[in-house]
Structure 1
Amino acid sequence: MFDTPVTVVGNVLTAPEWRRTSVTGAFVVTFKIASTSRRFDKERGQWVDGDTLRVRVACWRRLGENVSVSVQLGDPLIVYGRLYSRDWLDDQGNKRTTYELDALSVGHDLNRGVDKFARRRPPGSTDMINDATSAAAIGGELTEPMDDPGRPDDLPPDSELFDEFDPAVYDTSPIVPAGGADEQSLAGARG
């Protein structure tokens, strides 16, 4: 079977909605994204909208959990995944086709704004090297911070752009449905 990998750059049309599959209990978050082409109209001397692609995006398991707390209506996104079409009949018996994208990666379009990444780590994990043997094997020399030569002069300092990540403000725990869930079903949903 051949997959059709695509990248869609556009805006979120619908707020992310999450569900759980009835058979496996896997989390899935869906939303629609619209990508509108733009071109310069020489006769009018201005940019005009072209055709629009609207696609339903499905984000499974951990990606779905992260999308549900990171993406909002109207956000500019870049979505990479597998495109496919689904044929169905409406209530009047007319044949319809819907395009869907199984997302592999979702991110904010940083051409249109700034973002701050917060890594989700398993409880108890750390970046620190806690023993001398590992530290010696990794090696390296001490470094000193320096100014970023590529940073624009008119960009405000980081302290004004971003708040420090506070786990108490941003809940990084798995999403639990309103009816509740036990640890075993959550572990199965993480896949």
Structure 2
Amino acid sequence: MNETIICAVGNVATQPVYRELPTGPSARFRLAVTSRYLDRAKNEWTDGHTNFFTVWANRQLATNAAASLNVGDPVVVQGRLKVRSDVRDGQSWMSADLEATSIGHDLARGTSAFRRASRPEPGAAASAQPEPEWETPPPTDSESQRADEAVVVT
């Protein structure tokens, strides 16, 4: 219940690795998150320390991430933070993993074109609904006339 949910903004550092597992699709990539600060002495923005996270995605998110992300892409990742530490060959190490719940391109730094992923389901063709028309159509002449007649001046 008490999980650490974070939102990290950075760049894709490695090409996503996609795997089909018995539990479903999985993908992982490294995310580089570099802090920036204004150096008042130089009056310019300066890069600070870079943190690296291993981002894990599962199921449809994994499929979409592998198809959409490339090295260098600016992204926003939200998910559960898991910090692990271990000792191997006498050396201790730490890693920070993000189990992603959402991944998206950072639109503050560029544009992106969204395409819905098609997920074929058994019997979906028979029950598929057309996309609704969201634009309000202009009124026909008879509707305009009825609307004018309905206006009552008091």
- TM-score (norm. length: structure 1): 0.63
TM superposition shift of 1:128: 4.1
| Alignment coverage as a number of residue pairs | 132
User: In the alignment, which residue of structure 1 is the partner of 2:93?
Assistant: 96
**Which stretches in structure 2 are left out of the alignment for 5+ residues?**
140-154
TM superposition shift of 1:141: 4.9
Measured on the aligned residues, the alpha-carbon RMSD in Å equals 2.2
Q: State the one-letter code of the partner of 1:4.
A: T
From 116, 127, 130, the equivalent of 2:130 is 127
TM superposition shift of 1:115: 0.7
**Which stretches in structure 1 are left out of the alignment for 5+ residues?**
130-139, 145-191
Q: State the one-letter code of the partner of 1:44.
A: K
User: In the alignment, which residue of structure 1 is the partner of 2:12?
Assistant: 12
Shift in CA distance, 72/43, structure 1 to aligned 2, threshold 3 Å: same
Shift in CA distance, 128/43, structure 1 to aligned 2, threshold 3 Å: closer
| 1:93-172 → structure 2 map (5 Å cutoff) | 93-123=90-120, 124=125, 125-128=128-131, 141-142=136-137
Structure with bigger gyration radius: 2
| 1:30-109 → structure 2 map (5 Å cutoff) | 30-90=28-88, 92-109=89-106
Q: Distance in 1 between matches of 2:17 and 2:40?
A: 41
TM superposition shift of 1:118: 0.4
TM superposition shift of 1:59: 0.4
Q: Distance in 2 between matches of 1:113 and 1:128?
A: 28
Q: Which is further off, 56-65 or 25-34?
A: 25-34
Q: Compare the two structures and name the one with the higher strand fraction.
A: 2
